[in-house]
C-alpha cells in the first residue's frame, strides 16, 4: 500500500505471516484479510467533492487498497480523512486487534501522521485498532482513517517542498491471542 502527499509517495505491505521448516525460512503471503476502500464506489456519487473520501484511495484491479494520496493539504491545520479504508476478514479466524504504524524517510513526517477511528488508541508510534473487548470475526470489517497534523510541530521540512519525494510506509500487524 502506498501513501502520498503531493509528490511524496509511500508503500507498505500488510498481513504477512511466516513459518519455519527445518533450516529453511518460508514467507507466506496468503491472508484472509483484505484492505479495501471503506466506501463502495457504487455507493459514492461521482464527484470531485472535498467530502468524498473515496477520491483519496487508489485500488488495484481486485478492489484492494494500493495507496492513499492527499494533495493540496492545508499546511496550517490538522486534517482528518475519516473512513478511508476497511480491514475485511474473509477467513474463519478471529483477530483481537490490529497494530498500525507509520515509517518514513523523515521521522517528522511519521510524527505528523495518525490513524483515526472511535476504536483507535495510540501508544507512542503505534495505533491499536479494536479494544480488548472486541474482535474481528469471519465476515466482519473494521474501518479507519488517517490524519495529518501540521499544527503541533509545523510542516515537516521533507514535505514542505512539493518537488521533494518522501517515502512513507503504513505497516499493519494482525494480532491473534
Q: What is the pLDDT of residue 116?
A: 92
Could you tell me the pLDDT band of residue 27, with boundaries at 50, 70 and 90? Answer: very low
Residue 15 has pLDDT above 60, yes or no: no
Residue 123 has pLDDT above 60, yes or no: yes
Average pLDDT for 60-81: 84
Residue 11 has pLDDT above 60, yes or no: no
- Distance between CA atoms of 115 and 129, rounded to whole angstroms? 9
Which residues, in sequence order, are CB contacts of 146 under 8 Å at separation 6+? Answer: 3, 68, 70, 81, 84, 113, 114, 115, 116, 170
The C-alpha cell 492513499 sits at 68
Q: How many folded domains does the chain comprise?
A: 1
- Distance between CA atoms of 15 and 32, rounded to whole angstroms? 9
Predicted structure pTM score: 0.76
For the chain, percent of residues with pLDDT exceeding 70: 74
Half-sphere exposure of 71 (CA within 13 A, CB side): 9
Domain range enclosing 48: 2-175
- Distance between CA atoms of 27 and 16, rounded to whole angstroms? 8
When comparing pLDDT for 21 and 87, which is higher?
87
Q: Judging by DSSP bridges, how do beta strands 2-5 and 65-70 pair with one another? A: parallel
Residue 100 has pLDDT above 50, yes or no: yes
Amino acid at each position: 500500500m502506498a501513501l502520498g502527499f503531493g509528490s511524496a509517495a509511500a508503500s507498505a505491505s500488510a498481513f504477512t505471516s511466516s513459518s519455519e521448516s527445518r533450516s529453511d525460512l518460508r514467507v507466506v503471503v496468503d491472508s484472509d484479510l483484505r484492505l479495501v476502500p471503506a466506501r463502495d464506489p457504487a455507493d459514492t456519487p461521482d464527484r470531485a467533492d472535498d467530502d468524498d473520501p473515496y477520491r483519496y484511495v487508489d485500488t488495484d484491479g481486485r478492489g484492494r487498497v494500493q495507496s492513499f494520496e492527499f494533495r493540496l493539504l492545508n499546511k496550517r491545520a490538522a486534517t482528518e480523512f475519516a473512513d478511508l479504508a476497511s480491514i475485511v476478514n474473509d477467513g474463519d479466524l478471529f483477530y483481537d486487534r490490529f497494530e498500525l504504524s507509520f515509517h518514513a524517510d523523515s521521522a517528522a513526517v511519521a510524527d505528523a501522521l495518525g490513524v483515526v477511528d472511535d476504536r483507535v488508541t495510540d501508544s507512542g508510534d503505534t495505533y491499536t485498532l479494536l479494544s480488548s473487548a472486541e474482535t474481528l470475526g469471519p465476515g466482519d470489517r473494521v474501518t479507519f482513517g488517517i490524519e495529518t497534523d501540521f499544527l503541533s510541530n509545523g510542516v515537516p521540512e521533507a514535505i514542505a517542498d512539493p518537488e521533494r519525494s518522501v517515502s512513507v510506509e503504513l505497516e499493519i500487524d494482525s494480532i491473534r491471542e
